[in-house]
Amino acid sequence: MTDVVTYDVVDGVAWLTIDRPEARNALSKDVRDGLWEGTHRFVADDSAAVLVLTGAGEKAFCAGGDLKEMAESSLEIPPPDFLPQFGRNVEVAKPTIAAVNGVAYAGGFLLAQQCDLIVAAEHARFAVSEVKVGRGSPWAAPLSWLVPPRVALEILLTGDPLDAARAREVGLVNHVVPAADLRDRTQELAARIAANAPLSVRAAKRTAYLSAEAPREQAYARAEEIWAPVYRSADAQEGPAAFRDKRTPVWTGR
């Protein structure tokens, strides 16, 4: 890991933290490299069932790209591997949660959007601010699947921020909590997911995205394919057996 991104596992939950609060956790090259390293580490980490992505400090989850660095390098179109985008340029089968502890603007919005769930502190704010600085946001293509199309259009055309309450109202955010409770509440949510049968969790995640990728009949057919190995797994027998025996299931992921 780099000095500006940390990786810690707590009870099966991996915390990937951008630790550059003095720069509002902006996406310098060191940060981007650290996010790539942390993502690959999580994918390969059998001790971690859920990833939480967050930022250090109280002001910013991530304020977006490092504009000074962009100006110095005369960055035009970012390369495909500029930043890990879960489900687009890196496959992350396990669930991911953004714990948004402040502003999530531009590239910070991207990082939060690409996570499966979002828990936001009450003072968090979200914006796709590229139109205000003449940059682009092709990564926002899924936004109108996550929120109503007219809300997506307003976010993209104005560049104006949404506060946490509005973000939850339109469906971008799952939970809004006091800032002091953000880590504990996110850990609790992640732990509930981590306690479930891992094969079922991964299949459920894939199923949830099918409607964004395929017409209904194709989505049903793909879902049947996704779930068939789960039905045939040892865990599928362990769940009912544990219920019968009045004990906690012991999942093996097989």
165-223 pLDDT, tens digit each: 999 999 999 999 999 999 999 999 999 999 999 999 999 999 999 988 888 999 999 99
Per-residue confidence (pLDDT) for residue 76, from 0 to 100: 73
Per-residue confidence (pLDDT) for residue 135, from 0 to 100: 82
- Is the distance from CB of 110 to CB of 142 less than 8 angstroms? no
Per-residue confidence (pLDDT) for residue 79, from 0 to 100: 83
CA distance 252 to 180: 35
- Is pTM beyond 0.85? Reply is yes
Per-residue confidence (pLDDT) for residue 12, from 0 to 100: 97
Q: 5-194 has which fold?
A: 2-enoyl-CoA Hydratase; Chain A, domain 1 (3.90.226)
Per-residue confidence (pLDDT) for residue 74, from 0 to 100: 66
Torsion of CA 194, 12, 242, 226, to 10 degrees: 50
Per-residue confidence (pLDDT) for residue 78, from 0 to 100: 83
Per-residue confidence (pLDDT) for residue 29, from 0 to 100: 92
Low-confidence ranges of the chain (pLDDT < 70): 1, 67, 70-75
**DSSP secondary structure, 76-132, as one string:** -SPPTTSS--BTTTB---S-EEEEE-SEEETHHHHHHHHSSEEEEETT-EEE-THHH
